[in-house]
Structure 1
C-alpha cells in the first residue's frame, strides 16, 4: 500500500521533502524521482522547453525558455503564474491567441481571456513542481 510522508532527506532532483512509499522504495511526491537515485552530474540535464507566464502589476509576459530558473532571474516580475510545456512554436501560438491584449513585445494585459487560460494551466501544484515532473520524465530511460 502506498503512503505519503516525509522523505528521509530532500529529493536529489527537485529538493522536495515529501515522498510516497511504493513497495520498498521511496518516490518523490513532487517529481516522481526515486529517492536515493543520483542524477549523473557529468551529464547535462535534458532540455525541457516551457512557456512561462509572469505577472508584473496588471501585465503578463508570455515567454519561453529551456532554462527557466536562469531566465526568470533576469526578468523583473511580481509572480510566476504558470508553466506550459512547449517551445517557441507554442509561444508564438499564445502570442497570436492573445494578440488583442498585446501591450508591446511579449507583454499582455491581464484581461479575462488570458486570466482564464492561465487558470486552466494552474492546479494545486506550483509551476516549479510541474517543471520538476517534466524534467524527471525526460531523465527516465
Structure 2
C-alpha cells in the first residue's frame, strides 16, 4: 500500500484540516505544476501582510505582491526604492507628484483620497504635468476635469495603489525587471 500524504490543496496549511490522499508514483517527466485558485496563506505575507495567496507547485505566492510565502527580505539591507507618481485628491483638485517613499510623502500632504499610483519617477511626473497643463492651478495641483479624471481612471484600472506598490517592491526585491 502506498504511503499517505497531505492533499496538495491543504499541504502546509495549519488553517484547514486536510484529508489524507494516497501518494502516487509519478515520473519527473510527467509532473505537472498545479496552480490552485486563491486561498488563505498559512500566515500573513512577510512583505505586505496580505492573507490570500496562490499555490504554484510547492510554493505559495502572495496574491497582492507576488512575494513567495516564507521568504524573508534581508533586514540588513535597505529596501529598494521604487519611484511612483501619485495622484491625490483634495476637493476638486488633484496633486500629481512623485516619491521614492510614498507612505511618508503622502502622510505629509493634506488630501481626501489617494486616487492612484503610476510606476515612474520625475520624467513621468513631468510628462503628466505637460499633458494636463491646461488644468494646472499652480505647483503640482490640477483641476479634476474630465481629462484628468479619465487618465486617473485608466491608471487606477491597473490595480489598487498600495497593492501595486507592494507588487513593485516585491519585484525589486526579487530583481525582476518590470516596466
Decide: shared fold, TM above 0.5: yes
User: Does residue 129 of structure 1 match 2:147?
Assistant: no
Higher Rg: 2
Instruction: Give per-residue Cα distances to partners, 1:42-69, cap 9 Å, x unaligned.
Output: 1111111000000011100000000000
Aligned residue number for residue 35 of structure 2: 2
1:68 and 2:102 equivalent?
A: yes
Hey, what does 1:29 align to over in structure 2?
63
Q: Note the 1:1-141 alignment, pairs <5 A.
A: 1-3=34-36, 4-123=38-157, 125-141=159-175
Find runs of 4+ consecutive structure 1 residues off by over 4 angstroms.
none
Distance 1:76 1:104 in 2: 16
SS of alignment partner, residue 157 of structure 2: coil
Rounded to whole Å, the distance in 2 between the matches of 1:93 and 1:132 is: 24
Alignment partner, residue 6 of structure 2: none
- Structure 1-normalised TM-score? 0.97
Query: Cα distance 1:47–1:59, how it changes in 2: closer, same or farther (>3 A)?
Result: same
Structure 1: 5+ residue stretches without partners: none
Residue 103 of structure 1: how far off its partner (Å): 0.8
Quote the offset at 1:35 in angstroms. Answer: 0.2
TM-score using structure 2 length: 0.77
Equivalent residues, number: 141
Alpha-carbon shift at residue 24 of structure 1 (Å): 1.6
Q: Which runs of 5+ in 2 are unaligned?
A: 1-33
Aligned counterparts of 1:108 and 1:123: Cα–Cα separation in 2: 21
Task: Give the CA deviation at 1:124.
Answer: 6.8
Deviations 1:3-57 (A, max 9, x none): 2101111101111101001112111011100001001111111111000000011
